[in-house]
Structure 1
Amino acid sequence: MSADDDETMAGESHPGTGLPGPMIVLAGGVLVGAINIYLAASLLPTAVADLGGASFYAWNMTIYLVAMVVATMLAGRSLSRWGNVGAYLIGFATFTAGSLACALSPAMAVLLASRGLQGLGAGLLSGLGFAVIRSALPPRLWTRGTALMSAMYGVGNFAGPALGGLFAQLGSWRPAFAVMAVVSAVCGALVPRVLPSVLPSGERGDPRPPVPVVSLLLVTAAAGAVSVAGVLEGTFAKAAGVGVALLLVAGFVVHERGSELRVFPRTTYQGGSSLKWVYLTLGLLAFGVAAESFLPLFGQRLAGLAPLVAGFFAAAISLGWSLTQIGSSLVTGGRAVRRLRVLGPLLLAAGLLVQGLLQREEAPIWLVAVWVPVLFVAGAGIGLAYPHLSVAAMSSTRDPEEGRRAAAGIATVTSLSIAFGTAVAGVLVNLGGGSMLDSARYVLFGLALLCAIGALTAHAANRTDPSPTTRPPLTRPATRADGGGRSQQ
């Protein structure tokens, strides 16, 4: 088979000259969801002063993240049923409706329900952003495409607090949600113009694919438990919440291994497969992002920074993540890719460790200036490894339906890991008691240790996939064991 046939089978269904259009839609979908993870956190104090309902304050992030995690797991099935255009239109419409409902909310309960609707749209768009790369871009551009997708998480973590802080400082929170609705609507209007209207030949799945209800319930409960753990009072309560979440995740894995109706591809649970190690490494990299939730607090308390300045200081991790991927995505050699997979978690862990060592009470301005490049280097560790791990997940199976599911799983793993990491960081903050310096060190040292484990999982991924390349395997449909024509769900 020729190289041209290879690329056609792998999903080059859109003309190469129109690539900017699809990438605007794919990246825009991931970006609006990433921005909204932290946008409302900056706006909520102003919203509470307007609407009341302070007792529901903590549920803002919980409802959004749980809805987002659930929706990412349905992205592959949405593609099978409605195709690229239909699935994206549903995602943007849901997010736009949720954003408008947030802007018009008359009470806190309505705002929280609207945030859940936003989360469903954001999660679907995040999952689609990775899954549709297989059909919207030629394989030679998968690494750059996934680099852009994952960079949107970093940009969102930077833009969310900045946008929210700007509107909060102006004393008006509703226009921020209206702006997000407009951005989402514009991206949605582009969808029919720039995306393939159907999936490539051989990739259409069941028009009514079954939903893995048990898996969804288990992972929803886990996401809810870890999100609630992050807002509980007391170290023991937080640890108990994280423990319950881990048990639910274990139950999820056990169920998926023995079920024919699953969220992640069958390959994830097969012995000798690299996919489970790829997902674990992606998750541990995402843990490092959790530090951004607490860095503004440390900057204000330990260095006396103004809130807006502290917010931009904390975004140095996301900035390093986003910018580094520009160069990392150009690396194609198998040996270099393997090294970047391992180097990324090590660099992230080293940056967090050094940042912990540099924490001081009443830190002088020169020391604060040193913090920024250190955090940038930590974020660069994510940028070095993330795009290559994403392509490894996308290329892990020859079955196109399973391949889309593997790609959509990237967003699921990232969203769930950010939720887990934030809750774990909340537990570590409490270990410091009344000392903000101790709290900062516990968070940074603890997250550094967890992220360093990613080097081990990356090594395991390299060992089971010794020759990673940016070129995927042929994507011809697999046959069912019972003789049917489609891959088994």
Structure 2
Amino acid sequence: MIVLAGGVGLFATNTYVTTSLMPSAIDDIGGVELYAWTMTVFVVAAVVSSMLVARSLALLGSRTSYVGGFAVFAGGTAIAAIAPTMPVMLVGRGIQGLAAGLLAGLGFAVVRLVLPRSLWQRAVALMSAMWGVGNLSGPLIGGVFAQVGLWRGAFVMLAGIAVLLGWLSARVLPPRAGAAEAVEPIPWTALALLAVAALAISVASIETDPIMVAVMMGGAVVAAGAFVLRERTAQVRVLPSLVYHGSSPLRWIYLSILLLTLAVTIETFIPLFGQELGGMSPLMAGFYGAAISWGWTVSAVISSNVASARGKRIVRVLGPLFISAGFLSLGLLQTDSAPWPVILGWVVSLFVAGCGIGMAMAHWLTAGLQVASGPGTGEAAQVSAGMNTTQLIATAFGSALAGLLVAVGGPSLLGSARVLSFSYVLVGVLAVGAALREFAVVRAMARGSGGAAGITPDRTNG
């Protein structure tokens, strides 16, 4: 289980290490205009590699897949560690993303292949807990190394951990577990369209010519539209066909998950704002950047006790309202050379937004699983996997969008912080709309034939 959890933990820790030390890296190697690209490139690569999990297991087996994944991650991290410029850093981040997406997906896929059924729940719980570990260890590792002026050392440490986990994988995993699994085709066209859309937004964030910005944003819209059209007609899809089924609530469940995940991507820039506007040390800025995730974790535990259908519906609407309130407060409190009472207000605002994400996300994920388990869906595995894919897509687009908003608010960093915070208020508003629409679809299903998606109102909403 250490190996399976290690892949997820490496993904999570790397995420928070990078956001914590990136301001220091920018000071050293430059490339502030490519700041958001460090996350966008990583996640776009992870989206692509997450589609290769089944194929990797079928062709290589669990041992080779894991050893290869950790080796590639170590290589990408080493490139990031020695990067003399930001473009080289992005190459390393892209390689990291390819490995991280594969490793995170392998963890959940290999559980049933290498562990007895009695340990499945414990293993899944351990892997899920790795995000909490990353939330604590990432800012600590990144912040400490940045604090002492050795940000490259954090990447060296991550590369060493990857090598250690690769060695452990070679010793404990069976060589061919999963080799007999069927291999499904990969939706390369749809994946390429997603990548083009996300990268077009990222390019727009570094353009200074308004015409080129408009061209890039137009290209992103066209690519996203082409992705939807491709998904509706293709035999092999990124997302399950139920998303495009008019009578299914799954599209609204996925949209809600996407918007909630999108809200998290604001934390890409939070450590930078903390250092530049609040005068925080790299270590403190790293933990400040994780305030959203702390709120997510706390509220997810508390809201898991909500059991009634009505209570779950309330939580799924209340969560986005918390998100909007938190980001509105954050925007209003933004100021240069902020005193500690104001900084405390920033932390509270982010924590409130994180609470909104956590309280709603758990119930939307459960609703998705209930669609997957409903009779007649025929796509149980795809529906479940699609939720993870949706979160990766949201992170890729959210990171790119955050970079664009920061550029729009510039050249003043204070202006960037305000534009980013106020813009993300809209994310919560849209999430409320998606929730209300899902409730309406479920009610319509109950009044009609009921069960086009194999569910009942009680099962999706409670």
Give the TM-score normalised by structure 1: 0.75
Give the whole-Å Cα distance in 2 for the aligned partners of 1:53 and 1:296: 17
Residue 199 of structure 2 corresponds to which residue in structure 1? 224
- Following superposition, the deviation at residue 119 of structure 1 comes to 0.9
Q: What is aligned with 2:316?
A: 341
Contact 1:215 1:256 in 2 (8 A): yes
In the alignment, the residues of structure 2 paired with residue 215 and residue 44 of structure 1 have an alpha-carbon distance, to the nearest angstrom, of: 31
> 2:145 matched to 1:167?
yes
Cα root mean square deviation, aligned: 4.1
Residue 427 of structure 2 is aligned with which of 414, 432, 450? 450
Q: Which amino acid aligns with 2:402?
A: A
The structural deviation recorded for 1:379 is 0.5
Residue number among 417, 423, 432 corresponding to 1:440 in the alignment: 417
Q: What residue is the counterpart of 1:241 in the other structure?
A: 216
Structure 1 residue 254 displacement after superposition: 0.6
Q: In the alignment, is the contact (CA less than 8 A) between 2:57 and 2:177 conserved in 1?
A: no
SS of alignment partner, residue 385 of structure 1: helix
Match of 2:98 in 1: 120
- Secondary structure of 2:226 counterpart: helix
Amino acid at match of 1:461: E
The alignment status of 1:467 with 2:458, answered yes or no, reads: yes
Is the 2:20–2:283 contact (alpha carbons within 8 Å) kept by the matching residues of 1? no
Give the CA deviation at 1:317. Answer: 0.9
Answer with 241-250 or 124-133: which moved more: 124-133
- Distance in 2 (CA, whole Å) between partners of 1:391 and 1:56 is 39
Of residues 449-458 and 298-307 in structure 1, the stretch that sits farther from structure 2 once superposed is 298-307
Alpha-carbon distance in 1 for matches of 2:132, 2:219: 29
The letter for the 2-side match of 1:258 is: T
Report the equivalent of 1:32: 10
Alpha-carbon distance in structure 1 between the residues aligned to 2:365 and 2:171? 26
Structure 2 partner of 1:424: 401
Preserved contact between residue 143 and residue 284 of structure 2 (Cα < 8 Å):
no
Higher alpha-carbon deviation: 58-67 or 100-109: 100-109
Task: Report the AA paired with residue 369 of structure 1.
Answer: L
CA distance in 2, matches of 1:286, 1:93: 29
* Cα distance in structure 2, aligned partners of 1:213 and 1:80: 18
Moved more, 148-157 or 366-375: 148-157
Indicate the SS of the match to 1:468: helix
Report the CA distance between 1:220 and its aligned residue.
1.9
Unaligned runs of 5+ in 2: 443-454
Q: Give 1:356-395 correspondences, 5 Å limit.
A: 356-395=331-370
**Alignment partner, residue 158 of structure 2:** 180
Return closer, same or farther for 1:85/1:347 CA change in 2, 3 Å cut-off: farther
Question: Which residue pairs with 1:327 in the alignment?
Answer: 302
CA contact (8 A) 1:430 1:439 kept: yes
**Contact persistence 2:406–2:420 (CA under 8 A):** yes
Aligned to 2:44: 66
In structure 2, the CA distance between the partners of 1:349 and 1:30, relative to structure 1 (3 Å rule), is farther
Tell me which amino acid in the other structure corresponds to 1:446.
Answer: S
Query: TM-score, structure 2 length as denominator?
Result: 0.79
The alignment covers a number of residue pairs equal to 443
3-state SS of 1:171 partner: coil
CA distance in 2, matches of 1:441, 1:107: 29
Report the secondary structure of 2:311's partner residue. helix
Q: Do the aligned partners of 1:360 and 1:437 also contact (CA within 8 Å) in 2? A: yes
1:274 positional shift = 2.2
Counterpart Cα distance in 1 of 2:303 and 2:170: 28
Judge conservation of contact 1:394–1:404 (CA < 8 Å) in 2. Answer: no
Q: Judging changes above 3 Å, is the alpha-carbon distance between structure 1 residues 328 and 427 closer, same or farther for their aligned structure 2 residues?
A: same
Partner Cα separation in structure 2 for residue 294 and residue 332 of structure 1: 36
Give the AA of the match of 1:227: S
Task: Identify the residue that residue 478 of structure 1 maps to in structure 2.
Answer: none
1:410 counterpart letter in structure 2:
M
Q: Which moved more, 1:403-412 or 1:235-244?
A: 235-244
CA–CA separation in structure 2 for the residues paired with 1:156 and 1:238: 35
Distance 1:282 1:83, change over 3 A: farther
Question: Larger helix proportion, structure 1 or 2?
Answer: 2
Equivalence for 2:233: 258
Choose 183-192 or 214-223, whichever is displaced more. Answer: 183-192
Q: Does 1:99 align with 2:77?
A: yes
Which stretch of structure 1 is more off in the superposition, 107-116 or 90-99?
Answer: 107-116
- Looking at structure 2, the residues matched to 424 and 379 of structure 1 have their Cα atoms a distance apart, in angstroms, of 19
Shift of 1:30: 2.7
- Tell me the alpha carbon deviations over residues 22-45 of structure 1, each in whole angstroms, 9 at most, x when there is no partner: xx5554323322333453455567
CA distance in structure 1 between the aligned counterparts of 2:309 and 2:61, rounded to whole angstroms: 33
Give distance in 1, aligned partners of 2:118 and 2:331: 41
- 1:181-220 matches, within 5 Å, as 181-188=159-166, 189=168, 205-206=181-182, 208-220=183-195
Identity of paired residues, percent? 43
CA contact (8 A) 1:29 1:122 kept: yes
Pair 1:318 & 2:296 matched: no
| Contact persistence 1:126–1:411 (CA under 8 A) | no
* 1:262 Cα deviation from its structure 2 partner: 1.3
Partner of 1:397: helix, strand, or coil? helix
Deviation at 1:184, TM superposition (A): 3.2
Tell which deviates more after alignment, 392-401 or 254-263.
392-401
In the alignment, which residue of structure 2 is the partner of 1:476? none
Question: Secondary structure of 2:458's match?
Answer: coil
Unaligned runs of 5+ in 1: 1-20, 472-489
Contact 1:332/1:469 (CA < 8 Å) preserved in 2?
no
Distance 1:219 1:181, change over 3 A: same
Q: CA deviation at 1:359?
A: 3.0
- 354 and 101 in structure 1: CA distance in 2 versus 1, 3 angstrom threshold: closer
